């Protein structure tokens, strides 16, 4: 999970930076598939950030991304589990 420091811009700006860092990590590690939990209220924003991010990182031909409901991908449950166990997500995530 990639995050940016709390209070360093709006939640949209922090999310955009975190997504860019995640794409950079995937590109560096040779990742080929990125699954993001679907939030219909953020879907268009996410797609825009991902579209531009994979192109900036030079991995548009090798990295695919998709949004899925959490019930479709059990690994998406990990962030929720961590949050339920210990408090604010900002304290539980590791910066990439």
- Residue 11: the pLDDT is 75
- Does the pLDDT at position 86 exceed 70? no
Position 93 confidence tier, pLDDT thresholds 50, 70, 90: very low
Q: Express as a percent the part of the chain with pLDDT over 90.
A: 14
Q: What is the token pair recorded at 32?
A: 């080929």
Q: What is the token pair recorded at 3?
A: 């995050």
- Does the pLDDT at position 90 exceed 60? no
- Cα 37 to the center of its chain, rounded Å: 9
Alpha carbon of 70 to those of 14, 27, 37, 76: distances in Å? 22, 24, 6, 6
Work out the mean pLDDT of the chain and round it to a whole number: 79
Strand partners, 86: none
**pTM of the shown model:** 0.67
Task: Say how far apart CA 82 and CA 92 lie, in whole Å.
Answer: 7
């Amino acid at each position: 999970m990639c995050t940016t420091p709390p209070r360093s811009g709006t939640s949209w700006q922090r999310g955009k930076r975190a997504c860019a860092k995640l794409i950079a990590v995937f590109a560096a590690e040779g990742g080929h598939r990125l699954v993001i939990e679907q939030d219909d209220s953020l879907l268009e924003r996410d797609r825009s950030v991902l579209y531009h991010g994979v192109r900036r990182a030079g991995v548009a031909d090798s990295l695919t991304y998709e949004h899925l409901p959490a019930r479709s991908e059990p690994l998406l449950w990990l962030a929720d589990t961590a949050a339920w166990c210990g408090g604010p997500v900002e304290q539980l995530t590791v910066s990439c």
